[in-house]
Every structure is written in structure tokens, then in C-alpha cells.
Amino acid sequence: MPTFYGTEINNPLLLGTAQYPSPSVLAESIKLSKVDVVTVSLRRESGGSNAGQDFWNLIKELGVRVLPNTASCYSVKEAVTTAQMAREVFATNWIKLEVIGNADTLQPDVYGLVEAARELTQDGFQVFPYTTEDLVVADKLLQVGCEVLMPWGAPIGSARGLNNEYGLRSLRAHFNEVPIVVDAGIGLPSHAAHAMELGCDAVLLNTAVAKAGDPAAMAKAFSDAVSAGRQAFLSDPIEMSDMACPSTPVIGKAFLS
């Protein structure tokens, strides 16, 4: 099972908590998939409201580890301040660091990401950087203290799967000791299994489960898929070839023509 900053988790599927039809469906999805880590966030709250506390109580009752995010932050300052607030509220040094660079694709601003990661690691955070599959950026993130890489599969919520399989393979090969979590863009359990078959250590997704017709059943399907993909990777898959290769022995075939 993947280990992040010295903590081994029990399920390579990490699940987002947003967009579910109801809190009870969210809870059922977490329970059925047996995920160990869920992502959470922070937003403005009105005076007198207990919405935030109620949500936080629900998550605590489920006994899962939280990975707070800095979603929707477009600058280093916003992301760092959000991380600091998240650490206080959620009592964890883990932070899923998002510094967004484009509103249409929600792709990371990798320059800001590296800068924010440097600041946060120096301040004791354990950063999970939402990045691209770019090797040089990944190397910079590791240099500033990140011990996990979180490349996107595809734009957030797009359900496109793995847009750049080569890039993920390359990342895996170059940083074979660093936990890699494919985050974002996953639409189907087969996408998640594919990421795991490539040797990635975990998959983080939200929309594909939350917006499914039956979120809890889909969460279970994703959990099964990452498990199957991991097992396949560890079982040393065969190489792809351009030509057919008969599996049934040719020798001894009867001459019947």
C-alpha cells in the first residue's frame, strides 16, 4: 500500500467529498469503497452557520484521514494562506497544493506551484502538489521538499482518463522511489486501473464517483479497479506487440485441409 510522508494508507484510492447528492450518499460511498483518505476544503462561512462544523463532524465520524486542498487558488499567496488556515482547522500537515494557472483547463501554474511548495515545506507542511506530468517540474518539486507527486490524468472533472500515458510512464520511470498519485480527469474505473497498471501508487478522484447515478456503487467499482490495477502492475504484465502470437500450441495441429 502507498506510503505518504511515512504514513501507510490502506487503500490506493483517494476520494473527493464534493458534489454528492447528499451527506448520507457521501458517507455510504466512503464506507463501501473502504477509502482511507478523503479530500476536503475550506470556504467562507456565514456567522451563525454550523454547516462547516456539521460536515467536519461527519468526516470525523467516518474515521478517515483528510487531505485538505487549496482548490481555486490562483496565486502563491492565496494558496499558502489557505494551507495555513487548513492546517489549523483540520489539524494535519498534509496539504493538496493547487495553484491554478488557467480557468478553462484548471491546469496548474507550475511556477507558482514550486514557489508555494517551497514556502510550505519550509513551514513544516507535507505537500501533495497537483502538477502536470512534466519531468523538470517534478524534479523541482522534489528539490523543494515534496515527497509525493500528483500529476493530473486530464483536466479536473473532464472524465477523459489519462491524456498523456507516455508522460506518466516517463514520470514513473524517472522517479521510481517517489509515490505518484494520479489526480484529476479520471472518468471510469478502467482509467484508474490503467494508472495503477502503469505503476502509479494511487489515484485521487471525485466527480466520477459523486456524479455517477449510484455513487456508492461506483466508489466500490473504483476501489476494486485500483486494487486490480496495482495487482496487475506487481504481476509484471507482458509486453505489447504489433503482430499476433498464437496462444494455442501450433505443433501437433491435425492436417485437415
Partner 1 sequence: MRIIVNGEEREVTSDLLDQVLVECGYENPSIATALNGTFVHRELRTETKLTEGDRIEVVAPIEGG
Query: Which residues participate in catalysis according to the annotation?
Result: 96
By CB under 8 A, tell whether 21 contacts partner 1.
no
Which one of the spans 15-23, 140-148, 170-178, 237-245 is the region binding partner 1 (CB under 8 A)?
15-23
Tell me which amino acid residue 128 is. F
Report the residue number, 98 or 140, with the smaller CB distance to partner 1: 98
Closest CA to 128 of 198, 252, 246, 39: 39
- H or E element at residue 51: helix 51-62
User: Contact at 8 Å (CB) between 122 and 90?
Assistant: no
Residue 138 binds partner 1, judged by CB under 8 A = no
Beta carbon of residue 238, minimum distance to partner 1 (angstroms, whole number): 35
Among 21, 24, 51, 214, binds partner 1 (CB under 8 A): 51
Burial of residue 232 (number of CB atoms within 10 Å: 0-12, 13-18, 19+): middle
Cα 132 from chain centroid?
Answer: 12
Q: Does 105 bind partner 1 (CB under 8 A)?
A: no
- Is 234 a binding residue for partner 1 by CB under 8 A? The answer is no
Site for partner 1 in 164-223 (CB under 8 A): 206-207
5 binds partner 1, rule: CB under 8 A: no
Q: Are 42 and 89 in contact (CB under 8 A)?
A: yes
Q: Is 53 in the site for partner 1 (CB under 8 A)?
A: yes
8-29 core/surface letters (b: 16 or more CB in 10 A; e: else): ebebbbbbbbeebeeeebbbbb
Which stretches of the chain bind partner 1, using CB under 8 A? 16-20, 26, 39-53, 55-56, 59, 68-69, 71, 77-78, 81-82, 84-86, 88-90, 156-157, 206-207
